[in-house]
């Protein structure tokens, strides 16, 4: 640690960085641009929260890593967190290179040994990150050249061979979905749709969700942008309750029952007015467009309800 720096200073810096990120990201609702991450200061000193050249950030004043980073993988490339889960449900984070004594791996090991909270910057677009924190390194598997990463410092690497451990594994996977996969999915989808509802083009992030096309409870319901649609609360709820469907060629359909009702402006414009219209917003990049196959699966279910 730098001269004059104590463990308390280290802890205070980590807390301050997390609080600053909470404000900057609207409590995790919005991602943050890498340029903005250079603005953080602690006690008058500018301390960059990521290292543009490296996956691991260890400011010179600290002994242990402060943040880790996973770069954005364009659609079609492998998602590191999908194949990086161990049998116990904990995520695995690969060493930098193959030398366990590399300075970055030592910085990670120090964070693990001291159980220090880390910030995980997860790429959701070019130079755009969803911060997830606190995360902890809770174990190391040197033969596999990786650490185990948890959202709770009390977890550890374990064999899953008893019912209690299997239950813990399910809990860990559920936590990971809520605190990591869902915010990353939301930010990726909203970024792709330029923060507008696909159905009506509403542009208020507070009123927008990232809807799954095939639900994530279905094994085909991957947390990928091609299985997502940015939708306002009204259209998301209507889609989930099968009052509104979307054809594989991006046309909105509203159930006959809704079409026959007579009511105020929300029904008239928000629902009936969208029937037969194409989606108003699609991602700029074709490879991020919603998958016609996944839309087809969901559209079948909508037609089967058909009331
Ligand atoms: Zn909408």
The pLDDT tens digits for 147-186 are 999 998 888 888 878 888 888 888 888 888 888 889 999 9
Average pLDDT along the chain: 91
Taking residue 78's Cβ as centre, other Cβ atoms within 10 Å add up to 9
Q: Could you tell me the distance, in angstroms and rounded to a whole number, from the CA of residue 33 to the centre of ligand 1? A: 26
Report the separation in Å between the CA atom of 304 and the middle of ligand 1, taken as the mean of its atom positions.
23
Question: What was the pLDDT predicted at 177?
Answer: 86
Distance 231 CA to ligand 1 centre (A): 5
> Could you read off the pLDDT of 188-245 as tens digits, one per residue?
999 999 999 999 999 998 999 999 999 988 878 788 899 999 999 999 999 999 999 9
**Mean per-residue pLDDT for 101-109?**
95
Distance 183 CA to ligand 1 centre (A): 20
pLDDT value at residue 82: 45
CA of 223 to the centre of ligand 1 (A): 21
Q: Which of 59-68, 108-117, 203-212, 257-266 has the lowest mean pLDDT?
A: 257-266
CA 270 / ligand 1 centre spacing (Å): 7
Centre of ligand 1 from the C-alpha of residue 90, in Å = 36
With tokens 């030398």, the residue in question is: 99
C-beta of residue 211 within 8 angstroms of C-beta of residue 218: no
Å from CA of 32 to ligand 1 middle = 24
Mean predicted confidence (pLDDT) in 87-111:
93
Residue 307 has pLDDT above 70, yes or no: no
How many whole angstroms separate alpha carbon 99 and alpha carbon 142?
A: 10
CA angle, residues 159, 162, 164, in degrees to nearest 5: 105
pLDDT band at 76 (very low <50, low <70, confident <90, very high): low
CB 113 within 8 A of CB 164: no
Q: What secondary structure does DSSP assign to 164-176, as a single string?
A: HHHHHHHHHHHHH
Q: How many angstroms is it from 177 CA to the middle of ligand 1?
A: 25
Q: How far is the CA of 134 from the centre of ligand 1 (A)?
A: 33
Model-level pTM?
Answer: 0.88
Q: Rounded to 10 degrees, what is the CA torsion of 142, 147, 153, 154?
A: -50
Ligand 1 centroid–CA 210 distance in Å is: 12
Collapsed DSSP state (helix, strand, coil) of residue 267? helix
pLDDT-derived band at 81, boundaries 50, 70, 90: very low
Can you tell me whether residue 19 is helix, strand or coil? Answer: helix
What pLDDT sits at residue 4? 78
Least Cα distance to 66 among 157, 168, 135 occurs for 135
Sign of the C-alpha dihedral, residues 96, 97, 100, 102?
A: negative
Report how far ligand 1's centroid is from the alpha carbon of 97 (Å).
Answer: 46
* Gap from CA of 34 to ligand 1 centroid (Å): 30
Measured CA to CA, the distance from residue 56 to residue 102 in angstroms comes to 12
Q: Are 226 and 75 in contact (CB under 8 A)?
A: yes
Q: 232: CA distance to ligand 1 center in Å?
A: 4
- Ligand 1 mean position, distance from CA 230 (Å): 9
In this prediction, residue 83 has a pLDDT band, given cuts at 50, 70 and 90, of low
């Amino acid at each position: 640690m730098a001269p004059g720096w104590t463990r308390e200073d280290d802890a205070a810096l980590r807390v301050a960085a997390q609080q600053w990120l909470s404000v900057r990201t609207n409590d995790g609702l919005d991602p943050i641009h890498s340029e903005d991450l250079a603005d953080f200061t602690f006690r008058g000193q500018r301390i960059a929260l990521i290292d543009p050249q490296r996956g691991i950030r260890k400011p010179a004043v600290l002994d242990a890593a402060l943040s880790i980073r996973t770069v954005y993988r364009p659609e079609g490339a492998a998602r590191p967190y999908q194949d990086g889960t161990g049998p116990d449900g904990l995520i695995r984070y690969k060493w930098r290179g193959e030398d366990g004594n590399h300075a970055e791996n030592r910085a990670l090991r120090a964070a693990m040994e001291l159980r220090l909270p880390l910030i995980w910057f997860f790429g959701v677009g070019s130079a755009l990150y969803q911060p997830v924190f606190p995360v902890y390194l809770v174990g190391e598997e040197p033969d596999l050249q990786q650490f185990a990463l948890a959202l709770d410092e009390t977890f550890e690497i374990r064999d899953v061979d008893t019912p209690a451990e299997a239950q813990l594994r399910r809990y860990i996977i559920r936590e990971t979905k809520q605190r990591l996969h869902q915010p990353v999915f939301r930010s990726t989808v909203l970024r792709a749709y330029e923060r507008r509802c696909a159905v009506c083009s509403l542009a208020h992030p507070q009123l927008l969700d990232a809807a799954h096309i095939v639900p994530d409870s279905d094994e085909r319901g991957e947390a990928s942008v091609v299985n997502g649609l940015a939708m306002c609360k009204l259209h998301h709820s209507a889609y989930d309750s099968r009052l509104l469907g979307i054809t594989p060629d991006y046309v909105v359909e509203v159930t006959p029952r809704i079409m026959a009702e007579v009511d105020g402006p929300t029904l008239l414009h928000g629902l009936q007015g969208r029937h037969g219209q194409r989606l108003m917003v699609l991602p700029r990049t074709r490879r991020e467009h919603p998958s016609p196959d996944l839309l087809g699966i969901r559209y079948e279910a909508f037609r089967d309800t058909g009331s």
